[in-house]
Amino acid sequence: MKASTILNISLLQAAANLHLAKAANAEESPILLLSEDPTFHFEILGGLGQAIGGGSDIAPLLAAAKDIKVGDFETFAEVLFKLANETKAQALDPILAYDPINVRNTWFSVANYFRRADAFTKGNWDNPIIKEYWDEQLAAFNKGQAALPIPGDRLQIPSDNFTVEAIWYSAEKDKKKRPTLIVGNGYDAAQEDMYHIMVVHARALGWNVLTYEGPGQPTVRRSQDLGFIPDWERVVTPAIDYVLKEKADEVDTERLALYGNSMGGYLAARAAAFEPRLKAVLLNGGVYSVHDSYKAQLPAELLELYEAGKSEEFDQATLSLLDPNSTASTNIRWGIEHGLWAFKTKSPYDFFKKTEQYTLEGITDRIKMPVWVADCEFEGFFKGEPQRVVDALGDKATFHFFDGEAGYHTQSGAFQEMTRVIFGWLHQTLG
């Protein structure tokens, strides 16, 4: 790094840290804070919200929240691991496990707590807990599933160059044709999260659901060592082929819809542009350009280096924010660490460059079906993006704004409101 371009790292860190001071303001928060660290608050709230679908208990997660420390990724993982491991001991207790149904939600909670424990672990790709915690969450989730009246089927659906990891959930055992929702996440969440958030509610309304993960997403990133790809039709089209062939007797093809969560708002829209068999699409929220959204979160000093194409300086300065002694906000540290891991690159510059391909520019005219586009009051990742998607889609789009206590990104902690709005729109649109 040339002396003339060395940044004042303390100034950079101070700038990055402003996000923390701003967002942790309890006065501005719509609900009680679960941590003074807004990113930890959001992470715990997301886990707690799964309680409505049998995926968590309340007090144990609140107790864990009490023990985590602002900005301390290691303690976060330790505290959540301890909760997960203790809860697992309960699920294994032969007196309690006399009937698998007695410990079904205990296993689901174990899985959820291991997923939360994994959230801030990507700083070191060689850290064995990245694999260990995930193996634990998969095994625990499968134990919970096995005790459901209609367990989901785990599927490996081949694509051109990789395998889509999916779970098929029939609404009922009777094999009648029913409406079917295909559910995908974005940057970081797992398909197992969506069981509690979405699938339980969908099944109660008579919908089948397929949840899936593609490259870059938690299980595929680990099991196939693949980072994100922008051409998401390579993930969704094979999944739809599979469902229409193997589940033909269960799927009402006139009521086949696709849902994209978080960065999945881009991924689902991209897939829909190449997938006329879909009759409706839901984007929570709308994401026109992943690159523009992530760039907007960079401190001005870093943005300047990026725009000037100074890749080495940009990498060095950005990586300094991840130093153990960094005071950069949890949101920035997590965003960069997770992004490098999920896009499978060690260079922050390369990561940001890669995201340039994740845009709806030039393809929105190919999206012919009705599209529901959500935005929310406290959106922190994709600010302004939903409106861009609505503008590009014109009268194909229905806009929904979540505010107040349902106003967090993807309605964290308010999944009842989220699902009743979504299924209201689906019913209105598809019958």
Ligand X SMILES: *[C@@H]1O[C@H](CO)[C@@H](O)[C@H](O)[C@H]1NC(C)=O
Q: Which residues bind ligand X (CB under 6 A)?
A: 9-10, 13, 85, 89, 160-161, 323, 325
Q: How far is the CB of 30 from ligand X (least distance, A)?
A: 33
Nearer to ligand X, 124 or 161 (CB): 161
Q: Which amino acid is at 400?
A: H
C-alpha span between 216 and 189 (Å, rounded): 11
Q: How far is the CB of 13 from ligand X (least distance, A)?
A: 5
The residues, ordered by sequence, that sit 6+ positions from 219 with a Cβ below 8 Å of its Cβ are 134, 138, 165, 190, 191, 213
- The token duo for 3 is 């002396």
Nearer to ligand X, 299 or 407 (CB): 299
Q: Which of 412, 354, 385, 336 is nearest to 16 (CA)?
A: 336
The phi, psi pair for 15, rounded to 5°, reads -65, -45
Nearer to ligand X, 92 or 148 (CB): 92
Q: How far is the CB of 116 from ligand X (least distance, A)?
A: 16
- The token duo for 378 is 């406290």
Q: How far is the CB of 62 from ligand X (least distance, A)?
A: 21
Q: How far is the CB of 9 from ligand X (least distance, A)?
A: 5
139 touches 108 (CB < 8 A): no
Q: Which of 185, 156, 326, 149 is nearest to 262 (CA)?
A: 185
Q: How far is the CB of 64 from ligand X (least distance, A)?
A: 14
Q: How far is the CB of 186 from ligand X (least distance, A)?
A: 21
| Cβ count within 10 A of residue 300 | 8
Nearer to ligand X, 170 or 318 (CB): 318
Go through the chain and tell me how many residues it has: 431
Nearer to ligand X, 358 or 425 (CB): 358
Region label for 391, one of left (φ > 0), alpha (ψ between -120 and 50) or beta (otherwise): alpha
The residues, ordered by sequence, that sit 6+ positions from 358 with a Cβ below 8 Å of its Cβ are 228, 230, 263, 266, 270, 289, 290, 291
31, 38, 136 from 95: Cα distances, Å: 39, 40, 22
Q: Which amino acid is at 144?
A: G
Nearer to ligand X, 253 or 327 (CB): 327
Q: How far is the CB of 317 from ligand X (least distance, A)?
A: 11
Nearer to ligand X, 4 or 325 (CB): 325
- H/E segment holding residue 132: helix 129-146
C-alpha span between 29 and 41 (Å, rounded): 10
Nearer to ligand X, 86 or 254 (CB): 86
